[in-house]
Chains A and B, each alone.
Chain A
Amino acid sequence: MLNYFENNNNMLALTGAEAAAEAMKQIEPGVVPIYPITPQTPIIEKFAAYVAKGKVNSELITAESEHSVMSAAIGAAAAGSRAMTATSSVGLALMYEMLNIASGMRLPIVMNVANRALSAPINIHCDHSDTMGVRESGWIQIYCETAQEAYDNTILAVKLAEHKKVLLPVIVTQDGFITSHLMEKVETVADDKVRKFVGNYHYPYSLFDSSKKLTFGSLMLPNYFFEAKVAQFQAMENARKIYKQVAADWETIAGRKCSEIENYLVDNKTEAVIITMSAGAGTAKELAKELNDRGYKVGVVKIKLFRPFPYEELRATIKNIDNIAVLDRTLSFGSIPPLYSEVVQTLSMETRRHPTSKEQNRKQKIQSYVFGLGGRDLREKDVEGVYADLLSNKFSSETKFLNLNIQ
């Protein structure tokens, strides 16, 4: 324990929401427009308390809707201020128009999300339909399993967003209630180290620079629009490399790895693997450990960075594993679930790139599962069933549903 005091780190008991608010306090953004929505509310509640107590000098704007929250964040970021906020579910959906404007205007806003199901039926519990619904909005997306990850990734996201080769907004998301309201051990870094890591916000085209007149959000017709969008696409591609740099920098300060994907008990001998995201990975890891102790070679791969999707890193991890299950926490109506779709893409890219390679002849089998919609539990016996399917060669082209009462 002494060690933590020596390096000025603190060990705290925080919920996921409090961990995100703690990171925001240390970052001390210039402007924080807010609107409450379950289960994100404790993030802004905690942060508003820091503002009220004078612990941070951030300008808190209590807007009348999430659409206005994102509009205010866009204005603040364009004016040259660091802007952060938080939302959930239908709040994120109401922001949709402004999300695309934030990314299109290349404004590095960082937003915490506590995942919650989209209505209808109305439900306040966790699934990933909200953030998965905005996965093509041009925001970088980082999914967190624990309060610790919510803390680390919020700080890391600021640096990633503001890098001059990126200049894109970032969503840092954690599972609503499961992570946001559950208290865990979180190791935080000293305020001054965090402040030094994120540095001062310097947007290259600030509206507040009175020496230069600028036009923001201008009209772009067919003669220029395509170029602007390809430049935005390129920035997202740049984010792959910059993420590695930023994560490495943060590792030297915090001593924790923040890689794009986390491999748990995955090595050359792994026979079956579950690929999933966020808190569901916790249950899967617990059971994988138990099964390994009983002699089964099974592992878990947790995807943390979903946009840009880490195709190369995932391919390198799963290239020697024959039996793959993908556990999505959302449905894609009329299609296949989004994470499953990305994993299938990862495998097929390799085949297309090297049509004659041995890997093409590998018989990798992949099964799609959907779990936990609207906060339905992912039980250990569900995960055990998935591993049992994988190891007994029970594959189907249909998506299977875990812990569903009516089949």
Chain B
Amino acid sequence: MKANILPGGVIMEGGNSIANKTGGWSARNAEIDQKKCIKCHQCVLYCPEGCIEIEKGGKNVKVNADFCKGCMVCAVECPAKAITMKS
């Protein structure tokens, strides 16, 4: 591996943190039971990674496993207990 690093680790492009798939850090990912889900979208607001997305044109939510670090904030906050952690 040849590393060509600019001073201070500057990267000559923007918006590249998406290339770092932090989902690999988690032991267990959040999984949403759509039948229990009351579509309140609290999980979307609480997720520190912003990786719970609202379906386009609908109200259903889904977890982007590429970036879910398994912190369980959503599972704790969900008022309908619709989120469980699955490995």
Contact residue among A213, A216, A223 (Cβ-Cβ distance under 8 Å from B8): A216
Q: Please determine whether A219 and B5 come into contact, CB atoms closer than 8 angstroms.
A: no
Known A219-B20, A223-B1: A104·B13 in contact at CB below 8 Å: no
Question: In the complex the two chains form, is B8's CB within 8 Å of A106's CB?
Answer: yes
Interface size band for B: 10 to 19
Contact A106 B7 (CB under 8 A): yes
Contact with A along B1-45 (1 / 0, CB 8 A): 101011111111111110010000000000000000000000000
- A167: CB under 8 A from chain B? yes
Q: Does A363 contact B (CB under 8 A)?
A: no
**A215 CA / B12 CA spacing, docked (Å):** 7
Q: Does A353 contact B (CB under 8 A)?
A: no
Report the separation of the CA atoms of residues A224 and B1 in the bound assembly, to the nearest whole angstrom: 10
Chain B nearest CB, measured from A208 CB (Å): 13
Closest CB in chain A relative to B6 CB, distance in Å: 7
Query: Across the interface, which residues of B come within 8 angstroms of A294, CB to CB?
Result: none
Chain B residue numbers with a CB within 8 Å of A167 are 7-8
A231 touches B12 (CB 8 A): no
- Which of B5, B6, B17, B20 is in CB contact (< 8 Å) with A205? B6
Residue of A nearest to B16 (CB): A215
A interface majority secondary structure = loop
B8 near A104 (CB under 8 angstroms)? yes
- Selected from A215, A219, A224, the residue in CB contact (under 8 A) with B10 is A215
Q: Are B7 and A220 interface neighbours, CB within 8 A?
A: no
Please, what's the 1-or-0 string for A220-250, where 1 marks a CB less than 8 Å from any CB in chain B? 1001100110010001000000000000000
Instruction: Name B1's closest neighbour in chain A (CB-CB).
Output: A223
The digit string for A137-170, where 1 denotes a CB below 8 A from any CB of B, is 0000000000000000000000000000001000
Expressed in whole angstroms, the Cα–Cα distance for A227 and B6 within the complex equals 10
Taking residues whose C-beta sits less than 8 angstroms from the other chain, chain A's interface range is 20 to 34
A219-B20, A223-B1, A227-B3 given; A214·B9 CB < 8 A: no
In contact, B10 and A214 (Cβ under 8 angstroms): yes
Contact B20 A213 (CB under 8 A): no
Task: Describe B's contact surface by its main secondary structure.
Answer: loop
A105 engages B8 (CB within 8 Å): yes
Q: Is the CB of A218 within 8 A of B11?
A: yes
Interface check A358, CB cutoff 8 A: no
Q: How far is the CA of A204 from the CA of B10 in the complex (A)?
A: 10
Whose C-beta in chain B lies nearest to the C-beta of A167? B7
The residue that B11 contacts in the complex, of A107, A214, A231, with Cβ under 8 A, is A214
A224 interface neighbour in B3, B7, B14, B17, Cβ under 8 Å:
B3
Shortest beta-carbon distance, B29 to chain A, in Å? Answer: 21
Find chain B residues with CB under 8 A from A223 CB.
Answer: 1, 3
With contact pairs A223-B1, A224-B9, A231-B7 given, residues A215 and B20 touching in the complex (Cβ less than 8 Å): no
Interface centre among B5, B8, B20 (most CB of A within 10 A): B8
Most chain A CB neighbours (cut-off 10 Å) among B1, B3, B9: B9
Q: Is A212 an interface residue (CB 8 A)?
A: yes
Complex formed: what's the CA distance from A107 to B8 in Å?
Answer: 8
Give, as a whole number of angstroms, the nearest-CB distance from A222 to chain B: 11
Q: From A225, which residue of chain B is reached at the shortest CB distance?
A: B9
**Chain A residue at smallest Cβ distance from B14:** A213
In the assembled complex, the CB of B48 is this many whole angstroms from the nearest CB of chain A, namely 16
Contact partners of A215 in chain B: CB under 8 A: 10-11, 13-17
CA of A164 to CA of B11, assembled, Å: 17
Decide: B13 and A214 in contact? CB cutoff 8 A: yes
Further contacts, 15 of them, CB under 8 A, given A106-B8, A167-B8, A215-B17: A105-B8, A205-B8, A205-B12, A212-B12, A213-B15, A214-B12, A214-B14, A218-B11, A218-B16, A218-B17, A223-B1, A223-B3, A228-B5, A231-B5, A235-B7
Can you list 29 pairs linking A and B with CB atoms under 8 Å apart? Answer: A105-B9, A106-B8, A167-B7, A167-B8, A204-B7, A205-B8, A205-B10, A205-B12, A212-B12, A214-B11, A214-B12, A214-B13, A214-B14, A215-B10, A215-B11, A215-B13, A215-B15, A215-B17, A216-B10, A217-B9, A218-B9, A218-B17, A219-B17, A219-B20, A220-B9, A223-B3, A224-B5, A227-B3, A235-B7
